Every structure is written in structure tokens, then in C-alpha cells.
Chains A and B, each alone.
Chain A
Amino acid sequence: ETGVTQTPRHLVMGMTNKKSLKCEQHLGHNAMYWYKQSAKKPLELMFVYNFKEQTENNSVPSRFSPECPNSSHLFLHLHTLQPEDSALYLCASSQGTLAGGPRWTDTQYFGPGTRLTVL
């Protein structure tokens, strides 16, 4: 595997279900990101992790819970979602630095996304 991978690629869940999205990067990066992509809207940054520490929570509802056990893996735990949460969820990674978070010069590389449908 190369680059950034995400599983599952498609997920359908009910509003009372609990599910998790997984992201893995094979680029040796230390910063990882979750984005939400809804139709006709710009990509929205949700969370940022740098060296396993969360550095950004962009006012995301608590029904989305991220987890970063190491610099290569990122999870997004989902529970009691709403139909409006249906979207493409994208993971990205970048080099990152130990001091002060990812650098502004860092290029972000995206995975293929998980298409989530909440019924």
C-alpha cells in the first residue's frame, strides 16, 4: 500500500448505530487530518493531529470522536449521527513538525475518502 488509504470506502448506517472510519498513511508523515466534503460546499476541516496530539477541533459536534493512536493511523468514531452528516469523509496527512504543529509549507496528501450515508 502506498499513500493514504481509508476504510471502508462506503458506509451506510442508521442514526443509532456506532461505526468507525479508519485512515492509514504510508508516507512517514506526522500530521493527519479529517475533512468533511458535502455536495456543493467547500471541504471543511474537522480535526488535526500532529505527532498524535490533537491540535485542532473545528467546532465539530461531539457525535464525531477522533482517535490517533500513532502517527500512521487515524480513526473517526461515529455515534448517533444525523442524516445531514451524510458526506464524503476525507483523511489527509502532511509532514508535520515537533515544534508548534504542521508547517505552513506542508503539502497535504489525501486519501480516497469514505462515502457515508446516514439513514
Chain B
Amino acid sequence: GENVEQHPSTLSVQEGDSAVIKCTYSDSASNYFPWYKQELGKGPQLIIDIRSNVGEKKDQRIAVTLNKTAKHFSLHITETQPEDSAVYFCATQSHYKLSFGAGTTVTVRA
């Protein structure tokens, strides 16, 4: 099956700074790359996604980049705020199967 590696596993940033999470994958058939945010006591919520025919996508303070040749994609959060503190998961989707990274716990220090 698909192997998705996510780094770092924990990330602490000062409020207002940027946060970057990186993921690599192995299945070249993967065509859809969502990012989920999971807050305590809640299920994962989709925050942004990118499809294989797009290299970059931005939504306000969140951006995702994709390099299909190198099989890696990244999440960038700018101007971090305390409410950005959560666990972030990258995922790849081949057909209908989502394969998740192990997650990054992001803590935004006030």
C-alpha cells in the first residue's frame, strides 16, 4: 500500500511566524492530496487540498505545494495564530483510498 511520511512530528512556533509541514509518498498513482486538521475531541477536518494537475494552491493564510516528480507536498501556514494549534495530517488518495501521514502536532506560542 501507499507509504506517506510526514515531518516533523511536532512543531512549535511563535505566534505570527510561519509553519511548514512536509510529506512524501511512494505511489505514483496518487492524484489527490488533502490536508486535514484535527482539534482535540474532534474528527479530522479538511482545510485545503490539491490535485495532481496543480503545483500550488492558496487559501488565505494556508498554502499547499506539490512536486509530483519528487513525490512530495507541503503545507505552509503563515501568520500563525493560537487557533492554528492542532494536529495536521497530510494524505494521498489513489482511487478512493486515503493514506494518511502520522500527523504533526503544531503548537502556536502566544
Which chain A residues have a beta carbon within 8 Å of chain B's beta carbons?
Answer: 4, 6, 31, 40-43, 45, 48, 50, 55-56, 90, 92, 94, 101-113
Which chain B residues have a beta carbon within 8 Å of chain A's beta carbons?
Answer: 4, 31-32, 34, 36, 41-46, 49, 51, 89, 93-103
User: How far apart are B75's CB and chain A's nearest CB, in angstroms?
Assistant: 16
Give the interface centre of B4, B41, B51, B96 by most chain A CB atoms within 10 Å. Answer: B96
In the complex, which residues of chain B have a beta carbon less than 8 angstroms from the beta carbon of A104?
A: 31-32, 93-96
Q: Which 10 A-B pairs have CB atoms at the shortest separation, nearest pair first?
A: A110-B43, A102-B96, A42-B100, A43-B100, A112-B43, A110-B44, A104-B95, A42-B102, A113-B43, A111-B43
Chain A residue at smallest Cβ distance from B99: A42
In the complex, which residues of chain B have a beta carbon less than 8 angstroms from the beta carbon of A4?
A: 43
Please measure, in the bound complex, the distance between the C-alpha atom of A105 and the C-alpha atom of B46, giving whole angstroms.
Answer: 14
Contact A107 B43 (CB under 8 A): no
Contact of B103 among A42, A56, A110 (CB under 8 A): A42
Contact B94 A107 (CB under 8 A): no
Contact B103 A48 (CB under 8 A): no
Please measure, in the bound complex, the distance between the C-alpha atom of A67 and the C-alpha atom of B63, giving whole angstroms.
Answer: 38
6 new A-B pairs (CB below 8 Å) besides A43-B44, A110-B44?
A31-B96, A40-B102, A43-B98, A48-B97, A104-B32, A104-B95
